[in-house]
Structure formats: structure tokens, C-alpha cells
Amino acid sequence: MPRQTLTKTNAPGSYASSGVKVTLVSADPTNKEQFVSTGKELVLARNTGGSPYTVTINSAPDPYGRTADIASYSVPAGEIHVFGPFPVTGWKQAASSYITLEASNAAIQWAVIVLP
């Protein structure tokens, strides 16, 4: 199966009079996840399990061929960790418009927040 494409939540902005609901989606450790990159996204990883689990956010070669994955980052049980923002250069995969990510267990839930 293809990667699960995550739906993004737009942050409300500086002068908003209310918040926005963030929808968390359980990770699919087999097929993994992706989201369309604009360069203004934050990624939330929430661990709903009773043990630590790992997440990986895959980088892409920059114009100089460098990569710097966030690899096997441990999210402790019950915690939420935030990553990013992710500029297009160095993160968007060359063959697509996506940033790809994965989790070691379905207890990880993802959310992608787009900054204004």
C-alpha cells in the first residue's frame, strides 16, 4: 500500500480570536506517512502508548548532497514532541512534493501544523 498522506491543520495566525482543532492520526508502521511540503510545517508526534517508541523524519539531499534525517528519535510514553519547521530544501523528497516520516508503533499519533 502507499504511504498514508496526512491532512494538515492551518495555525490560526497572530490575530485570531479562537483556536483550531488539531486532528491526530495514528501512525501506520508498515506503510508509513507523508505530507505535502510547503516549507512552513511543524510536525507533532504524540506517544499514546505505555513504552517509548521512535519516529523518523526523512531528509532529502540539499544542493550540496547533505542529508540529516531525524532518525529513530525516541518519544517517551505519554509525551508530545514537536519538530520543524521543515524548509523545502533538504526535506522535500526529489521524486515528489512530500516529506516522508515513519513511526515504530501505531501508538504514535501524528499531526501536521502549517504556520501562517
The number of folded domains in the chain is 1
What is the identity of the amino acid at 49?
G
| Structural domain containing residue 59 | 4-8+24-114
Q: Give domain status of residue 17, yes or no.
A: no
Residue 48 in domain: yes
CATH number of the structural domain spanning residue 33: 2.60.290
β-strands 8-10, 108-114 pairing: parallel
Reported confidence tier of residue 87, pLDDT bands at 50, 70, 90: very high
Mean pLDDT across the chain, nearest whole number? 96
CA 36 to chain centre: 10
pLDDT in tens, 16-65: 999 999 999 999 999 999 999 999 999 999 999 999 999 999 999 988 88
Set of cell numbers at residue 16: 485570531
pLDDT attached to residue 95: 87
pLDDT above 70 covers a percentage of the chain that reads: 100
pLDDT above 90: percentage of residues in the chain: 90
Within a domain: 19? no
Cell 499514546 belongs to 48
